[in-house]
Structure 1
Amino acid sequence: MALVPVVNPPIGVEFDEEGEDRDEFHIDKLATDFTETEESIRHNVYPESDDESEGNGRGGAARGGTPIVRGDGIMYKGQRFYNGIAFKECVTDYALATGCNLKQYRYDRDRIGFRCVGAKGKCQWKVYAASLHNESMWRITKYTNTHVCVPNGECEMFKVPVIARLFLDKIREEPDYYMPLKMEQTIMEKWKISATRGQCQAARRKALAWIASEYDTQFERLRDYGAEILEANQGSVVEIDTVKNDAGHDVFKRFYVCFDVLRKTWKKTCRPLIGVDGCFLKEKIKGQLLVALGRDADNAIYPIAWSVVQVENTDNWSWFVNRLKIDLELGDGDGYIMVSDRQKGLIKAVELELPKIEHRKCVRHIYGNLKKTHPDKKQLKKLLWDLAWSYNTRDYEERLERIHAYDSKVYEDVMKTKPKTWCRAFHKIGSYCEDVENNSVESFNNTINKAREKPFVAMLETVRRLAMVRIAKRSAISYSHEGLCTPYVTRFLADEHKAASTCFVSPSTNGAYEVYLGYDKHRVCLNARTCTCMKFQICGIPCEHAYGLMIKKTLVAEDYVCEWFRTAKWRQNYTDGLVPQRGPRFWPSTGGENVYPPPKPDDEKIDKKRKKGVNESPTKKQPKQKKRIMHCGICGAADHNCRYHQKKKNKKNTTQVESSQGCLTQEK
């Protein structure tokens, strides 16, 4: 019974003029009574009703207020369900919880019944549900909860669709792990039910078909997915381009996304550097994933934007670069740097959209092209990279002359690549980035290699989640770091410490010093943070000459590092992150037309594995007789197929029969 608040003081309790209680015993008694009669606050529990005809009770347990948890397999007479499928799921949960051998015996549209066929069909357990004419829901009308059987691992209702539903989420998350053999073992360990290898194999195929259908539906709702991005991360930019086909359907052409948090953070806290590249998609919907990345204060990659196009050409690159130009407010590109490979469509797009940007070409790709023309030149790699790493024009001229002395034809081909566009000596001062290759973007493409094998929307979600988690982890690392500068600076100075410790310093006026290192002599000014070797100005971190001066004067080298590599800037890089998004069930409905996948080309033969360049380290070749490694469709192991398990099973059965016949002969 609910407690009625007391307005007037009870008999025997007196108050003084100030309203204070003079009888503590009665107050304690009232507090105790209130606590004992107070009901605990519960969530997701149906309230009790005085009308017993509602059919919500199932005996003492239900009337006592015990909540019914979906999936526990509990059933009782009068229990209601929204439809017959929900009733079947409840019976399935009961079979999994008890391990009893249940079988469906009634299949009518409005009536379904199950019985236990254990104990050679003598078990009395039975349940029957029907959709009554005067009700819109299903209800259990007959239920005999009496078992005389003992579970033996057999369950006739445990068929392929049931197994497929049980492992649907697991197969979606780890399709390569949950093979038929693993599924069979899991069923026995978790539910003590025996399932055949063939059932698990068929269930896995059915689950994969359901998953593929889900992903196809998600692709059709691509506009709803874009709306979810804009709703969760307000201010972001999502663009979905489609074209009409002959049937009047919207066919996918390209997709672009730039999160507002990423572009604002890049503008405020990152160096004006953008690395761009493209990589192949490997699922049903083929195409190219174009990415744009920046650099944080620890010189690690920072995602900016990404896009999906059908082919890597001038038109699509121009579209992508134009989107970056608008979203990042690049103007004509003056004061910014872009690093990329020498893809012709990209070079043309950058010239049209960002004519004043400093466009650096990746030396690794340049070397790969030169290696194809001059495969027998063993010294080409060292000579080319030494040229790219030149910090000043004097070193550049000397190393270029070495290439000319090595081979005049190699020299001519090197000059055709315009080395001033990829050599450090000609980098603009102020960007504080010494990179001459696009390894950061290549590293990102390798990170999302598994994502590129997923269906379209799942791939986009994986890339977004990777960026979100990366920012969260980097934020924790940056705030736990206690140094003045980032770990990148520590590693940079550690590489220079040995040479810096051998420097000989001669002082001058106005903060200038003359520093000897071997046969070289340079002028260093700590006030201006410059060195005539130009490495200090290009990197933003003291070179070996400046570092040697600081060692002699016992100065802290980190005090002379530019602000882009400070820990405070690093923390600003990762102060704000992406807002988590919801699943497809909760995407907003835009009411737009469905998006259809583009038609597949007839001669489509795209290898899922990336082909290595000429300059990359070769891998160990397989023997000629093992060019193609066979994998089993049941257990996933190599060097055998599903017939191996069948032969093994037949051999085992034959041995058992022979053994039993031998026993009978001995008895006779």
Structure 2
Amino acid sequence: MKKIFWKIAKAYTVAEYDEGIEEMRQYDLGVYETLMEKNPQACSRAYFTGTACCEDVHNNFSEIYNNTINTAREMPLVEMLETIRRLAMNCRAVAGANGQFDVRENNVGHSVHMTRRTCTCRKWDMTGIPCRHALRVIMHMKWKSDDYVSDWYLTSKWRATYENSISPVTGMRFWRKTDETRIQPPTRPESKGRKKKQKRIKGKNESPKKKRKVQCGEESPKKLKASRERRTMTCGHCGITGHNAFKCPNSGASVYRKPKKNTLSQGEGPNQESQV
């Protein structure tokens, strides 16, 4: 079937075309009737004119065009037409002297200097990569685009950056002495007092104060820092209230000791305070 079909399409004369059609009818009548409904004369060389000077019967050009505008087909009408217009828009390059080219885009002229690797749009100057105007010249002259990329993108430049290592430095003992003024370190303010120790950072589960049980129906009390207010201070040296042992004025007094409580023993009565 495939061989008969291409015989009809590639026939140069009407006689060859008719022979192919007859072979198709004898091979499969159903396929023959379907083929005649599609007007096979439109895809046969036998009915081509000599104006186009083209014998190609394939549809590759239409396939390429459809693949190019495939993304634009999914857009609204105005955006689709604008996308197709941009795809069909091309730059035109006109050669000048000394490596200069005049590239026209949207009726705007751009001067491209291939020797200096510059363009009036300055994109090539800033990035080191040929802009679209320079690429138009490269494609027009059939040059290689890689030859016009800046050397800073080459691997050889990257390797040259790390080619030399840091040179070793001898110790101060081997330095040559000079008569120049010796540079002194800057002065620092003297610190006063002992250096404060950093307090231990408490964990998340640690509380800075004791917790109190909350009665039923009572709101939870706010966490307040413990205070020394209303606390009676007793000196541990002389036993007198109102001051502590650090500020005790009775330096000659005997050391005060707290009374011990007697424990109940078997057969004894209630506790009695011991005399100091």
TM-score (norm 2): 0.30
Flag the structure with higher strand content.
Answer: 1
**Larger RCO of the pair (alpha carbons < 8 Å, separation 6+):** 1
Flag the structure with higher helix content.
Answer: 1
Which is greater in Rg? 2
